Amino acid sequence: MRENSGSIDHIPTVTTSTFERLVLQGDGPIAVEFMSYSCAYCGALEPILQQAAEFLKDKETILRVNIVIEQDLAESFGIQGTPTFVMFLNGSEVGRAEGPHPTLSSLLAELTQPFGL
CB-based burial label for 103 (10 Å; 0-12, 13-18, 19+)? exposed
Question: What pLDDT score does 7 carry?
Answer: 60
**Domain residue limits at 110:** 2-115
- Number of structural domains (the chain) is 1
Question: What pLDDT score does 117 carry?
Answer: 77
CATH number at residue 21: 3.40.30.10
Instruction: Give dist(CA 113, CA 22) in Å, integer.
Output: 21
pLDDT tens sequence for the chain (117 residues): 444 445 668 899 999 999 999 999 998 999 999 999 999 999 999 999 999 999 999 999 999 999 999 999 999 999 999 999 999 999 999 999 998 777 899 999 999 999 887
Question: What pLDDT score does 2 carry?
Answer: 43
Question: What pLDDT score does 1 carry?
Answer: 44
